[in-house]
Structure 1
Amino acid sequence: MNLLLLSNSTQHGRGYLEHALETVTAFLPAAARLAFVPYALADHDTYTARVRAALEPSGIGVRGVHEGRDPLAVLADADAVFIGGGNSFRLLDALYRTGLREAVRDAARGGLPYMGASAGTNMAAPTLRTSNDMPIVQPPSFDTLGLVPFQINPHYLDPDPASTHKGETREERLTEFLEENDVPVLGLREGTWLRVQGDTATVEGAHPARLFTRGAPPQELAAGSDVSRLLVTEPRFDSPAR
């Protein structure tokens, strides 16, 4: 498979995808016809126009899957697919309703370049269980695309020792996940992404990633770290720690 999984599409003080534009344009085929999946936000037209404005100056043709009568036909005619960020539950529900969950999964497993950002990166994991999002709708299942066999947590935030907020930190929530599921979780900080090419997976971008595994302290992974070992993970869900 050929995957580019971004933690975020917008960076403070920069335009849409600007912080990763060189990586994105190098990842996509030259003059690619890109199928964009805008279902994580309610306004599909405005969202697609934003992606088009960011990528078309680089020669990438962008078509929203909602812009034709058949989203599956738009995907089938594309050289690559991009699933954008927003609410992961709304996105997954739409993927099920349109048949794109199976179609995108099969296309990506067959070699179609897959790019995700935020919620679109969540879709690449086996399940929604490590999403940060509120379940504003109820999809038929938490099962996502399963392009990688481990979980990803985009927008990972480190605990703030100066904060007076008493709610759970991101680290505490992921620790709770590992109490019930034996599956690694890769936390991607803002400006960071995961690149998967066949059997190789690499952390890239501006900051280290943070890897959570059951029974071990979190591990910092500098940009450039090879995490290919995660691709042979055997996830065990609903497997409480004893």
Structure 2
Amino acid sequence: MKNLLLASTSTVFGGSYLDYLLPELNNHFKDAERLIFIPYARPGGITHDSYTDKAREAFDNLDIEVVGLHEFNDPKAALQNAEAVFTGGGNTFLLVDQLYKNDLMATLRERIFEGLPYLGTSAGTNIAGVSMQTTNDMPIIYPPSFKTIGAVPFNINPHYLDPIEGIEHMGETRETRIAEFHHFNTIPVVGLREGSWIAVNGKTNTLKGSLSARIFEAGKKPYELESGSVLNFD
């Protein structure tokens, strides 16, 4: 049974890394003594070691050992034997490229569908969707495919931003960009605002946090879905 937490962000305004999620993480990873961290998204070009140290510091609060996937000689075997996995945010193009080039995307998908406890933030949440095509990130590298894990039957737009009233120019809004996506694709998209996350338990996908999400379906007017609601696109 799938068991995922898919968060829009790792850090809410004024907080520290993952602190707003700690109560959820304590339960989510209650049976794990060691967690594998996937640092491939490298926000701002941070090194794999430095990024893993950041995750390690956060999970010290839960008495969970953190090991970076890059530290293993055989990363595929490491995922096959993992107790839990966390994929951090950063650049989704880079993350997806590295997962494919290291032949890890299929293995990660297989383990997730077996029930591996998984946490994603930002880019790590993007890859849980059907494709990475609704990321906000710059295409700094060209991955072999935009297809991702498909742990949920929709795409996610983390860090979703609403238009700001009174601002005359913001370029394209997120809503406009997602509408462009739906000119060529029919995959539903969840605009996930900061401090929100999706809890996936088996086939049930529940919106969590204090804010609503903006829902986009091809051929329909966007609408709001309140926290605590089940995401169902049947």
State the TM bucket, normalised to the shorter chain: over 0.9
1:144 and 2:159 matched: no
Q: 1:201 aligns with which of 205, 219, 226?
A: 205
The SS at the match of 2:182 is: helix
Whether contact under 8 Å (2:159, 2:194) holds in the other structure is: yes
Partner of 2:23: 22
- Alpha-carbon displacement from aligned partner over 1:190-232 (angstroms, at most 9, x marks no partner): 00000110121100012111111122221111110111x23x5
- The residue aligned with 1:32 is 33
Deviation of 1:57 after TM superposition, in Å, equals: 2.2
Letter in 2 for 1:107: R
What's the TM-score, normalizing by structure 2?
0.95
The 2-side partners of 1:214 and 1:68 are apart by: 42
Partner of 2:71: 67
How do 1:180-199 and structure 2 match up within 5 A?
180-199=184-203
Aligned to 2:5: 4
Report the CA distance between 1:166 and its aligned residue.
Answer: 4.6
Q: Distance in 2 between matches of 1:177 and 1:89?
A: 17
SS in 1 for 2:97: helix
Contact 1:126 1:145 in 2 (8 A): yes
Which of the numbers 113, 117, 120 marks the counterpart of 2:121?
Answer: 117
CA distance in 2, matches of 1:2, 1:68: 24
Q: What is the alpha-carbon distance in structure 2 between the residues aligned to residue 95 and residue 151 of structure 1?
A: 18
Tell me, yes or no, if structure 1 residue 169 matches structure 2 residue 173.
yes
In 2, the alpha carbon distance for the partners of 1:135 and 1:55 equals 30
SS at match of 1:121: helix
Shift of 1:63: 0.7
Count of equivalent residues = 230
| Superposition deviation, residue 31 in structure 1 | 4.1
3-state secondary structure, aligned to 1:34: strand
Deviation of 1:118 (Å): 0.2
Structure 1 residues 215, 66: CA separation in 2 closer, same or farther (over 3 Å shift)? same
Deviation string 1:27-55 (CA, Å, 9 cap, x unpaired) is: 11334311110000041000000000001
The 8 Å contact of residues 55 and 66 in structure 2, kept in 1 or not, is answered as yes
Partner of 1:240: none
- Higher mean C-alpha displacement, 73-82 vs 130-139: 73-82
SS at match of 2:23: helix
* Partner residue of 1:160 out of 164, 168, 179: 164
Q: Which residue of 1 aligns with 2:59?
A: 55
- 1:220 maps to 2:224: yes
CA contact (8 A) 1:30 1:59 kept: no
The match for 2:182 is 178
- CA distance in 1 between partners of 2:15 and 2:37 (Å): 21
Check whether the contact 1:31–1:59 (CA below 8 A) recurs between aligned residues.
no
For 1:20 and 1:112, locate their aligned partners in 2 and report how far apart those are by CA, in whole Å: 18
Moved over 6 A (4+): none
Pairwise CA RMSD of aligned residues?
1.2
Unaligned runs of 5+ in 1: 233-242
Q: Which residue of 2 aligns with 1:237?
A: none
**1:183, 1:159 → 2: CA distance?**
23
- The 3-state SS of whatever aligns with 1:179 is coil
